[in-house]
Amino acid sequence: MKVIRGRVWKFGDNIDTDLIAPGKYLGLPYEKLLEHILEPANPEFPSKVKEGDIIIAGKNFGCGSSREQAPRGLKDLGVGAIVAESFARIFFRNCIGIGLPAVTCSGVAGNFQDGDEAELDLRTGILKNLTTGKSFQTSKLPDMMLEILETGGILEMLKKGTF
């Protein structure tokens, strides 16, 4: 499993799916929705986020509706991983299902600033803040979930007949 490295986008607690994929844009074609992902929480996000960037957030990230446009939008804009103090259940499942790494790490929000560089090794669960030089141990995902992530998500597994 590859190591993910990128700029940190930092968010607080209770970032809900209406902030990630605002309801008023859900009726638009998906490509248009992508231009508004996380916009209410940080207007720069959709235009500036780059491949491999890492979201660091507080508690209950992704709470709210089951709309998969939220995690998919993040993934399709390039987000490489999300590390949060905790996730809402459906959002977490959606992440794993689509092959977007999501791990928890207690106290993570207090140790990163917006714009820091971070690196996450999913196999060991080690998260590094390259800007401050500090390291953190994130939760280890069960093998079943690592397998889904490694294959690239449930759709890839379905195609291979391994789900």
Partner 1 sequence: MGMTMAEKILARHSGKEEVRAGEFVTADVDRVMVHEMLAFMIEIYERHNIPKKVWDPDRVVMLMDHYVPAPTVDAAEMHRKMREFARETGLKINLDGKEGICHQIMPELGYVKPGDLILGTDSHTTTYGAFGAASTGIGATEMIAVFATGKLWFRVPETIKFEIEGSLQERVGSKDVILDIAGTFGSDVAQYRSVEFHGSAVEEMSISSRMVLSNMSVEIGAKFGIIPPDKKTIEFVESVTDEPFTPVYPDDDAIYEAIHELSADELEPKVALPHSVDNVKSVGEVSGIKIDQGFIGSCTNGRLEDLEIAAEILEGNEVHRDVRLIISPASRRVYRSALEKGLIDIFLDAKAIVCNPTCGPCWGGHLGLLGKGERCISSSNRNFKGRMGHEESEIYLASPATVAASCIRGEITDPRYV
Which residues of this chain interact with partner 1, rule CB under 8 A?
Answer: 14, 16, 18-19, 22-24, 26-30, 40, 59-60, 63-69, 71-72, 86, 88-90, 93-94, 97-98, 142, 144, 153-155, 158-159, 163
CA atoms of 108 and 148, how far apart (whole Å): 25
CA atoms of 102 and 115, how far apart (whole Å): 19
Q: How far is the CB of 90 from partner 1 (least distance, A)?
A: 5
Residue 98 or 118 having the CB closest to partner 1: 98
Residue 95 or 118 having the CB closest to partner 1: 95
What the block records as the tokens of 69 is 């446009």
Q: How far is the CB of 163 from partner 1 (least distance, A)?
A: 6
Nearest to 11 by CA among 90, 114, 94: 114
Q: How far is the CB of 118 from partner 1 (least distance, A)?
A: 24
Residue 82 or 118 having the CB closest to partner 1: 82
Residue 69 or 129 having the CB closest to partner 1: 69
CA atoms of 96 and 148, how far apart (whole Å): 7
Element (H, E) at 79: none
CA atoms of 82 and 101, how far apart (whole Å): 6
CB-CB contact of 46 with 1 (8 Å) = no
Q: How far is the CB of 133 from partner 1 (least distance, A)?
A: 31
